[in-house]
Amino acid sequence: MTTTLDSERLQAAEMRARIALATATAIFVAGVILVTAILPAEYGVDPVGTGRLLGLTSIAGPSAGEAAAPAAAAVPQDLEPTRPGANTPQTISIRQDAVSFTIAPGQGMEYKYRMEKGASMVYEWTATGKVGFDFHGEPQGAPKGYAESYQMGEGDRAAGSFFAPTPGIHGWFWENLTTSEVTVTLKSTGFYASAIEFSASGQKPHELPER
């Protein structure tokens, strides 16, 4: 006749057996997942071939024997194409200039910046009356009197951006087309080294603000 103590011992033994079976099953399942999924996906190790069949090895990072590629190399070239010429590095500091000139009726004057090839500037000029203007340049080494025109016209204002096509001096000639004095005001920001003023009284350098 089975006693109460024997029954309790039997139940305890069955419980230990179920726990052991569950533990073994969990370890087995974890091992299968490790071999078939985790190793191929995380480390590129595919001992049974399931990673290749499931496409998991393609998402694995570089193996331990491979150096990790720089992050920039992972960007597809077609998403960030190279645009040659979009940026033009400069060798001098950027300058700013603001100057005004009073021109008598029928008279004219010039104002130019010395710039290297590829140097750039943005500008705006206004006049208190109608003027004729010629935006032009004198290439370095060109014969005396030679100039290349960039824009010509009549009016009381102009603005734009400029990239020097040659080294030399580049700027404006203004002629007063009215019967009264006209004041021309020029503002610019650019990579120029110096400025020169040409008027009826002669040629003289114009002092630029400190950098």
**Domains in the chain, number:** 2
pLDDT band at 66 (very low <50, low <70, confident <90, very high): very low
Segment 15-38, tens digit of pLDDT: 776 766 666 666 665 565 655 666
- Does residue 172 form part of some domain? yes
10 Å CB burial of residue 162 (0-12, 13-18, 19+) is buried
Q: Do residues 105 and 39 share a domain?
A: no
Residue range 37-57, pLDDT digits in tens: 665 656 666 666 665 666 655
Whether residue 76 lies inside any domain: the answer is: no
Distance CA 130, CA 120 (A): 27
CATH number for the domain spanning 121: value is 2.60.120.680
Residues of the chain above pLDDT 70, percent = 65
- 104 pLDDT band (50/70/90 cuts)? very high
pTM value is 0.62
187 and 105 within one domain: yes
Closest alpha carbon to 195 in 170, 163, 166: 170
Range of the structural domain that residue 30 is part of: 4-62
Same-domain pairing of 108 and 197: yes
